[in-house]
């Protein structure tokens, strides 16, 4: 299986697909037409060389993905905000530059808040709970294992909790459609609704697998950090997170380009965890995913054996266009 190197993300009633420096967001609007936005993405990292260094690029790519994810999520949500506000009086025009600055500040603040929340939830909280329960466990190794177990439980519990929300369930269905599209073309099939429906909703390069690897590797690292003071242990683990994220990224990248049996075995836990974050999509969701893929990736050239650089779609950038209905 040859990797296509395209990736994506589910958004509100839609899909974002990214190929090299271009991305497309396809959204099923309330009137059942598909809105399509195609843009060039500029990394928040000003030094391109940094994003290509193995074991360093992982953290930067992760932050980049968060920023792009928030931007595309905002785009998809705008259609449903418009529907809610359709009965209200028309608002005064807003200065475009001012609005853009506010949007950048909001996204920056949201990314920072999300990272802090993740650190508190998956690093600080398990260490704090382990400190409370340490009297029941003898030896540093046992305490570290217990702390690692708490991290895993919190992570799985978090996924189970959000998966009960109705809106999130639909996002997970679109997540499944995204994976199915990529699997379809990477297994040499034409990108049709029938072929996509028959493809797997699990993929080795999924962000869920990345996060699971971060959790697992942070548990392993925790076994070797023998510091008694809880605050110092937490501080060291936070400092090592970029390295852990970098290693996790390289594993995911390798998994997506390899059919090696050992790599496949290591990928299994991540694929199983994806059952919590993906659902089987409906056909109209698959149509949205296909629209997003075709806007940035020439799958016909890919199936014909062309180089990945030649599979980039070079159609004019659009702010909004109507697609399949």
What average pLDDT does the chain have?
86
**Beta-bridge partner residues of 321:** 36
Residues 284-312 pLDDT 10s = 999 999 999 999 999 999 999 998 888 88
Residues 31-47 pLDDT 10s = 999 999 999 988 877 77
Lowest-pLDDT range, 54-58, 237-241, 300-304? Answer: 54-58
* Residue 93 forms part of a structural domain: no
Lowest-pLDDT range, 196-210, 253-267, 276-290? Answer: 253-267
Lowest-pLDDT range, 17-21, 81-85, 139-143, 147-151? Answer: 81-85
Q: State which residues form the domain around 259.
A: 7-84+119-322
Angstrom distances, CA of residue 226 to CA of 127, 142, 234? 13, 12, 11
Nearest to 207 by CA among 273, 134, 268, 285: 273
Average of per-residue pLDDT across 59-64: 85
Note the pLDDT of residue 321: 44
Q: Which residues, at least 6 apart from 186, have a Cβ–Cβ distance to it below 8 Å?
A: 1, 2, 3, 4
DSSP 112-135: HHHHHHHHIIIIIHHHHHHHHHGG
pLDDT at 270 over 90: yes
* Residue 254 forms part of a structural domain: yes
For residue 281, what pLDDT band results from cuts at 50, 70 and 90?
A: very high
**Beta-bridge partner residues of 16:** 9, 25
Residues 161-199 pLDDT 10s = 999 998 899 999 999 999 999 999 999 999 999 999 999
* Residue 244 forms part of a structural domain: yes
CB burial of 256-275 (b: ≥16 within 10 Å; e: otherwise) equals beeeeeeeeebbeebbebbe
How many CB atoms neighbour CB 318 within 10 A?
A: 13
Instruction: Give me the percent of the chain exceeding a pLDDT of 70.
Output: 89
* Residue 89 forms part of a structural domain: no
Instruction: Give me the percent of the chain exceeding a pLDDT of 90.
Output: 48
Average of per-residue pLDDT across 255-283: 92
Half-sphere exposure of 190 (CA within 13 A, CB side): 3
* Residue 94 forms part of a structural domain: no
pLDDT at 14 over 50: yes
DSSP state of 312: B
pLDDT at 148 over 70: yes
**Encoded tokens for 233:** 């242990």
| CB 1 within 8 Å of CB 282 | no
Q: Which helix (H) or strand (E) holds 303?
A: helix 299-303
Distance between CA 2 and CA 256 in Å, rounded? Answer: 9
List the 14-19 sheet strands across, edge first.
Answer: 7-11, 14-19, 22-28, 34-40, 318-322
Distance between CA 292 and CA 191 in Å, rounded? Answer: 12
pLDDT at 8 over 90: yes
Distance between CA 308 and CA 261 in Å, rounded? Answer: 25
pLDDT at 322 over 50: no
More confident residue, 133 or 189: 189
pTM > 0.85? yes
* Residue 91 forms part of a structural domain: no
* Residue 103 forms part of a structural domain: no
* Residue 112 forms part of a structural domain: no
Q: 3-class secondary structure for 42-108? A: CCCCCCHHHHHCCCCHHHHHHHHHHHHHHHHHHHHHHHHHHHHHCCCCCCCCCCHHHHHHHHHHHHH
pLDDT at 151 over 80: yes
pLDDT at 88 over 90: no
How many structural domains is the chain composed of?
Answer: 1
Nearest to 280 by CA among 179, 212, 134: 179
Note the pLDDT of residue 127: 87
Distance between CA 131 and CA 137 in Å, rounded? Answer: 10
| CB 26 within 8 Å of CB 183 | no
């Amino acid at each position: 299986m040859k990797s296509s190197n395209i990736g994506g993300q589910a958004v509100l009633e839609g899909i974002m697909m990214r190929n090299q420096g271009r991305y497309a967001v396809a959204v099923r609007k309330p009137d059942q037409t598909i809105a399509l936005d195609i843009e060039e993405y500029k990394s928040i990292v000003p030094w391109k060389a940094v994003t290509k260094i193995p074991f360093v690029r992982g953290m930067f790519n992760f932050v980049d993905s968060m920023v792009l994810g928030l931007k595309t999520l905002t785009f998809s949500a705008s259609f449903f905000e418009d529907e809610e506000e359709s009965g209200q009086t028309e608002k005064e025009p807003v200065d475009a530059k001012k609005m853009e600055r506010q949007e950048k500040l909001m996204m920056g603040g949201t990314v920072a808040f999300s990272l802090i929340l993740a650190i508190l939830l998956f690093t600080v909280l398990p260490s704090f709970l382990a400190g409370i329960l340490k009297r029941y466990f003898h030896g540093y190794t046992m305490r570290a294992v217990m702390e690692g177990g708490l991290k895993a439980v919190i992570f799985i519990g978090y996924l189970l909790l959000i998966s009960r929300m109705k809106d999130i369930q639909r996002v997970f269905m679109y997540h499944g459609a995204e994976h199915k599209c990529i699997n379809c073309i990477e297994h040499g099939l034409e990108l049709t609704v029938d072929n996509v429906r028959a493809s797997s909703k699990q993929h080795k390069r999924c962000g869920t697998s990345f996060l699971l690897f971060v959790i697992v590797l942070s548990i392993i690292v925790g076994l070797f950090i023998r510091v008694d003071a809880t605050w110092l242990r937490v501080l060291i683990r936070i400092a090592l997170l970029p390295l852990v994220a970098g290693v996790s990224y390289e594993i995911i990248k390798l998994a997506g380009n390899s059919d090696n049996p050992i790599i496949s075995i290591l990928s299994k836990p991540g694929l199983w965890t994806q059952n919590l974050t993906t659902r089987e999509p409906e056909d109209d969701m698959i149509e949205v995913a296909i629209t997003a893929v075709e806007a940035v990736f020439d799958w016909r050239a890919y199936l014909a054996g062309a180089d990945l650089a030649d599979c980039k779609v070079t159609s004019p950038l659009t702010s909004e266009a109507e697609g399949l209905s």
